[in-house]
Amino acid sequence: MKKLFSLFLCGILMLTILPLTSCKKEDSLVLNVYNWEDYIACDEEVYDMVAEFESWYKATYGKTVKVNYSTFGTNENMYNELKLTQKKDGTYSYDLVCPSEYMIQKMILEGMCEKFDHSKMVNYNNNLAPYIENLFEENGWYDYATCYNWGTMGFTYNPEKVAYDDVSSWSVVTNPKYKYKFSIKDSVRDSYVLALGYINREKLLALDPNSENYNKEVGSLLNDFSDQTIENARVFLSEVRQNLYGFEVDSGKQDMATGKLWINFAWSGDAVYAMDIAEEEGTYLEYVVPVEGSNLFFDGWVMPKGANKELAQIFLEFMYREDNAIENLDYICYSSPMVGEDVFTYVCSSYGLTTLIPCNEETEYQDANGNYYEEVYICNDPNFQENLVQNGDLLAYRLTYLDNDGNIACEETEIFTHSVKHFFGDKIEGDGIIYTDSLNRQLVAMYPTPETMNRCVVMEHVETQTLKKLNNMWDSVKVGYMKYSTMLIIIIAAVALIALVIVLILLKKKGKTLRLRKKNIGKLVNSERIK
């Protein structure tokens, strides 16, 4: 009976397992995506890109696809993981990875990447910003990588405490006014840019921004890895270390919002995020890219050798669709290389002032139907729109809000124009002007002026030997310097102390045994006396 029962159980188990296995065999579509942490729209309540893709794929192609989405914290970790899981035939177990610019260069050089089939990347090529396209084509990355996000490096600062003129130069880190109030990145590549920007500042400022080779010349100055420069950077950063608040890669945003920090060396995307969270605390932060020149970075998707190219490209195409690009832009805060009318409208509505209705000072703040405008500007020049095509033009105006009773609660502010035409190019109609109340906040941090972009350069990938020198330099900056003689004295003192303790213990033990012997002898004597 028992046997029968167990056979029955076995049968049931087999039955339950069978459909599972067959199910897996039928459609084995799996996409392995490896991305930075928190670097895709993944808010379950709002928009989950991966889940949306899976259901979209099912609806479009009638097959189920499973996206194995995993994340990494540093480029080097990602590279390690790729190398460790490399198969015998030289292929990798991921279909899509998203490294930063220098790692993309390294991976292309090492022949780790598959080429993209750009005839299938329709959404990407339709919406790609001309600036990014040129950058990728000039450097030969276009075939191997698609840009995901990009940005500049600069300073996030609190304008209430910090003067713009100070913070718009790398030399702000040597300014005694901001001692212990600024932080730099706990990362050798980023902080090296800061050091180079300071060391070469005179050379950088002497360059003519209008000349054709300006960007290339800045590039060569900010990609200087000679031994002498690395040593200079070490000396400079060691000095800076004495005056700074700290090194960070993540906590800076929070510390800016809570006021612990006044200046934070930051990536533009983080700057936007810091501004957003600081606004909730009532602090209005700003961002500036130093005038000498700075770093331009990007993260891009590459397909490692052996990837399922077709599926990977379909996934990317899905993400590069304009509405999805906007979802990502909204979640990640980093500038997207995707441009188009919808993106422009999104940027206008989230970072620009939209409902501006022109009227003269005498005009009532009412429209024909007697409704009050929510935001009104006053401009004495009726033809202002034709005159304002330059970035950063100031409109004399007054911004007004209606309170709940319909009364006008007036607030005077300045309004500027900022054009994003240079970045959006022909992808949008019109002149791409967005009205903004500050030229140093989210909008301009995400879409810098052409002058700013002209002075930003990509930091190149460096050789292993140079990297080792850089790392050693960074170690000694981070740790500090202790004299060898001091070390020796400490070691000798420690050894002497330990020896002393051991000797004392040994002596005590000897003493104990001696005393015990004496006691025992005493006892013997006593007992004999009693006898």
Footprint of other proteins (CB under 8 A):
73-74, 76-77, 79-80, 179-180, 183, 186-188, 241-248, 251, 260, 464, 467, 471-472, 475-476, 478-482, 484, 487, 490, 498
When the beta carbons of 219 and 259 are compared against other proteins, the nearer one is 259
Task: Give the separation between CA 450 and CA 461, rounded to whole angstroms.
Answer: 25
The CA angle 293-296-301, to the nearest 5 degrees, is 175
When the beta carbons of 78 and 312 are compared against other proteins, the nearer one is 78
Write down the least CB distance from residue 79 to other proteins, Å. 6
7 exposure class (CB count in 10 Å sphere: 0-12, 13-18, 19+): exposed
Task: Give the separation between CA 366 and CA 355, rounded to whole angstroms.
Answer: 14
Write down the least CB distance from residue 80 to other proteins, Å. 7
Residue type, 84: L
When the beta carbons of 183 and 268 are compared against other proteins, the nearer one is 183
Residue type, 236: F
Write down the least CB distance from residue 306 to other proteins, Å. 22
CA dist 334 → 46, 143, 213, 443, 505 (Å): 18, 23, 28, 11, 64
Task: Give the separation between CA 87 and CA 95, rounded to whole angstroms.
Answer: 13
Q: Longest C-alpha distance within the chain, in Å?
A: 130
Neighbouring residues of 413: CB distance < 8 A, sequence distance ≥ 6: 397, 398, 399, 437
Write down the least CB distance from residue 1 to other proteins, Å. 21
When the beta carbons of 195 and 444 are compared against other proteins, the nearer one is 195
When the beta carbons of 183 and 295 are compared against other proteins, the nearer one is 183
When the beta carbons of 79 and 320 are compared against other proteins, the nearer one is 79
CB 302 within 8 A of CB 107: yes
Residue 35: CB atoms within 10 A of its CB come to: 21
When the beta carbons of 112 and 311 are compared against other proteins, the nearer one is 112
Q: Which three-class secondary structure string do you get for 249-283? A: CCCHHHHHHCCCCCEEEEEHHHHHHHHHHHHHHCC
When the beta carbons of 193 and 244 are compared against other proteins, the nearer one is 244
Write down the least CB distance from residue 187 to other proteins, Å. 7
Residue 114: name the closest of 365, 305, 359, 325 by CA.
305
CA dist 199 → 107, 193, 229 (Å): 30, 10, 8
Task: Give the separation between CA 487 and CA 501, rounded to whole angstroms.
Answer: 21
State the DSSP string of 86-116: --TTS--S-SEE--BHHHHHHHHHTT-BPPP
Write down the least CB distance from residue 177 to other proteins, Å. 14
The CA angle 344-345-349, to the nearest 5 degrees, is 120
When the beta carbons of 59 and 482 are compared against other proteins, the nearer one is 482
CA dist 213 → 198, 210, 292 (Å): 21, 9, 15
Write down the least CB distance from residue 477 to other proteins, Å. 8
When the beta carbons of 185 and 422 are compared against other proteins, the nearer one is 185
Task: Give the separation between CA 94 and CA 278, rounded to whole angstroms.
Answer: 38
When the beta carbons of 80 and 220 are compared against other proteins, the nearer one is 80
Write down the least CB distance from residue 296 to other proteins, Å. 21
The CA angle 227-462-140, to the nearest 5 degrees, is 140
Write down the least CB distance from residue 201 to other proteins, Å. 24
When the beta carbons of 248 and 292 are compared against other proteins, the nearer one is 248
Write down the least CB distance from residue 479 to other proteins, Å. 4
CB 446 within 8 A of CB 339: no
Write down the least CB distance from residue 32 to other proteins, Å. 21
CA dist 354 → 72, 436, 486, 524 (Å): 38, 9, 65, 107
State the DSSP string of 36-70: ETT-S-EETTTEEHHHHHHHHHHHHHSS--EEEEE
Write down the least CB distance from residue 236 to other proteins, Å. 17
When the beta carbons of 246 and 358 are compared against other proteins, the nearer one is 246
Write down the least CB distance from residue 476 to other proteins, Å. 4
The CA angle 224-226-228, to the nearest 5 degrees, is 115
